[in-house]
């Protein structure tokens, strides 16, 4: 099975290829904006260097958020477009940002955490409980006061933990990647999650009211 992974929800534009559950190639360009202009060239470069053609793909895994609102839309739209344009059935598989953490242990019950980037002094995190590397429910946004109830049921915490104080649980630092998304989709059997944006909350920026 050949899987293309795509990640545009973080400060990078990434693509990766996994064949039969083994990562064979990946490409990442650091950037905070401009994913829409760079994603197609990054994917094309990866495919060209790997000697792989689009009709050979069996699945397209895309990180669907939460994360950058614009990045989520760019990645999901691109993956859906590739899926529709494929000459044979090539499903676009949605992988949450927490399921796509690159150091996520699959043998433990884990709380995945990523900063939700609220404006100071607000501090919240995207959170998802994962078992066997897969989310048990949809991601949520939690405050510091809500963390203890989630921590009580897990073996470890994993993600961007730079703003998380010591909570008495093993800590695993990790970040969402296209490679992890491709490997996640490679392991799926039966039904798979559709490639739909996972925003969790409304954007902070809103259009100005007209007078």
Is pTM beyond 0.85 here?
yes
- Whole-angstrom distance, CA of residue 131 vs CA of residue 11: 27
Which runs of consecutive H residues, i.e. helices, occur in 86-166? 147-151
Residue 204 confidence (pLDDT):
57
Burial class (CB in 10 A: 0-12, 13-18, 19+), 115: middle
Residue 201 confidence (pLDDT):
85
Mean model confidence pLDDT for the chain: 93
- What confidence category does residue 202 fall into, taking pLDDT thresholds of 50, 70 and 90? confident
- Whether residue 205 is predicted with pLDDT greater than 70 in this model: the reply is no
pLDDT tens digits, residue range 82-122?
A: 999 998 889 999 999 999 999 999 999 999 999 997 777 77
pLDDT tens digits, residue range 141-196?
A: 999 899 999 999 999 999 999 999 888 999 999 999 999 999 999 999 888 899 99
Region 27-32: mean pLDDT is 96
Residue 77 confidence (pLDDT):
98
Note whether 171 and 155 are within 8 A (CB): no
């Amino acid at each position: 099975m050949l899987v293309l992974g795509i990640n545009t929800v973080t400060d990078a534009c990434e693509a990766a290829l996994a064949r039969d559950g083994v990562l064979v190639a990946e490409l990442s360009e650091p950037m905070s904006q401009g994913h829409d202009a760079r994603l197609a060239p990054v994917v094309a470069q990866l495919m060209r260097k790997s000697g792989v053609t689009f009709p050979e793909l069996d699945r397209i895994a895309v990180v669907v958020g939460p994360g950058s609102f614009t990045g989520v839309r760019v990645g999901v739209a691109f993956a859906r477009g590739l899926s529709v344009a494929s000459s044979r059935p090539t499903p676009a598989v949605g992988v949450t940002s927490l399921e796509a953490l690159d150091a996520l242990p699959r043998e433990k019950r884990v709380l995945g955490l990523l900063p939700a980037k609220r404006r100071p002094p607000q501090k919240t995190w995207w959170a998802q409980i994962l078992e066997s590397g897969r989310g048990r429910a949809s991601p949520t946004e939690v405050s510091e006061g809500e963390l203890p109830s989630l921590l009580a049921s897990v073996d470890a915490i994993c993600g961007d933990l730079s703003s998380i104080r010591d909570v008495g649980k093993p800590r695993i630092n990790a970040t969402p990647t296209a490679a992890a998304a491709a490997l996640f989709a490679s392991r799926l059997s039966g039904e798979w999650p559709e490639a739909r944006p996972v925003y969790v909350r409304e954007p902070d920026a809103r259009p100005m009211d007209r007078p």
